[in-house]
Amino acid sequence: MKTLVTYSTKTGNTKKVAESIAKAIKNSEIMDISEVKNLDYDLIIVGTWIDKGTADTKALNFIKTLANKNTAFFFTLGAYPDSKHALDCVENITKLFIDNENKVLGHFLCQGAVDPKLIEMMKTKLGPDHPHGPNPERIKRWADASLHPDETDLNNAYVYFKELVEKL
Ligand SMILES: Cc1cc2nc3c(=O)[nH]c(=O)nc-3n(C[C@H](O)[C@H](O)[C@H](O)COP(=O)(O)O)c2cc1C
């Protein structure tokens, strides 16, 4: 079986998860999303970072090129994995795949450190009452996210995709 693990990343979090997933799948190929030349795979696993509640532009454009494929996806995000926001992201991204008749075989997500430059901007430019401003709850979430993806996340991704592929 030919499997592609491809990812879009801005600061490296999603790439780390991709590398762990690729290790779990025998004979898989791993590639930055901008390097994918053909789609001749039995399974295409797409990784993205979350930008405004959905896949980032590069991943979004890539997903739109897929049709009638066996797929799965994973993402890293600043929000907590068990939040409503994370669930909304799963729904938004699933829809991108199924709109083109792709089969989505599974998905994985974990928190990822938010770019310190973005945090600095939000801390200095936005007031605490702004929807993205530095209130205590958000400051705690940024601090929690800064520790991810950690070894547990990487191992969870490994196990999740190993089992997913073994079942095919
Ligand atoms: C411009 C920008 C927009 C973001 N939007 C969201 C968002 O809507 N929801 C969220 O949970 N995290 C958001 N994040 C956080 C990233 O998705 C998260 O830090 C991710 O792990 C970054 O992955 P990367 O290191 O692979 O680029 C945003 C980050 C940036 C820089």
CATH assignment at residue 52: 3.40.50.360
Ligand 1 centre and the CA of 118: distance in Å?
9
pTM of the predicted model over 0.95 = yes
- For residues 69 and 135, state if they share a domain: no
- For residues 123 and 102, state if they share a domain: no
Per-residue pLDDT of the chain (168 residues; tens, 9 = 90+): 999 999 999 999 999 999 999 999 999 999 999 999 999 999 999 999 999 999 999 999 999 999 999 999 999 999 999 999 999 999 999 999 999 999 999 999 999 999 999 999 998 999 888 988 899 999 999 999 999 999 999 999 999 999 999 999
- For residues 12 and 94, state if they share a domain: yes
Of 54, 115, 125, 126, the residue with max ligand 1 atoms within 8 A of its CB, to mutate for a pocket test, comes to 115
Instruction: Point out the ligand 1 atom lying closest to the alpha carbon of residue 76.
Output: 21
- For residues 90 and 121, state if they share a domain: no
**Predicted pLDDT of residue 129:** 86
- For residues 67 and 134, state if they share a domain: no
Domain that holds residue 109: 3-113+149-166
- For residues 32 and 57, state if they share a domain: yes
- For residues 86 and 133, state if they share a domain: no
- For residues 63 and 126, state if they share a domain: no
**Whose CA is closest to atom 21 on ligand 1?**
112
- Ligand 1 pocket at CB < 6 A: 9-14, 49-53, 76-79, 85, 112-115, 118
- For residues 61 and 22, state if they share a domain: yes
The encoded tokens of residue 98 equal: 């199924």
**Predicted pLDDT of residue 146:** 98
Could you give the number of structural domains in the chain?
2
* Residues sharing a CB contact under 8 Å with residue 126, sequence separation 6 or more, in sequence order: 132, 133, 134
- Could you tell me where the beta strands, DSSP code E, fall in the chain? 3-7, 28-32, 43-51, 54-55, 70-77, 103-111
Ligand 1 centre and the CA of 42: distance in Å?
29
Return the exposure string of 115-145: e unless at least 16 CB atoms fall within 10 Å of the residue's CB, then b. Answer: eeeebeebeeeeeeeeeeebeeebeebbeeb
* Residues sharing a CB contact under 8 Å with residue 140, sequence separation 6 or more, in sequence order: none
- For residues 61 and 136, state if they share a domain: no
**Predicted pLDDT of residue 105:** 98
- For residues 134 and 157, state if they share a domain: no
Whether 66 contacts 96, CB under 8 Å = no
Please calculate the CA angle 89-157-93 and round it to the nearest 5 degrees: 20
- For residues 16 and 96, state if they share a domain: yes
**Whose CA is closest to atom 18 on ligand 1?**
77
**Predicted pLDDT of residue 9:** 98
**Of 88, 58, 93, nearest to 74 (Cα)?**
93
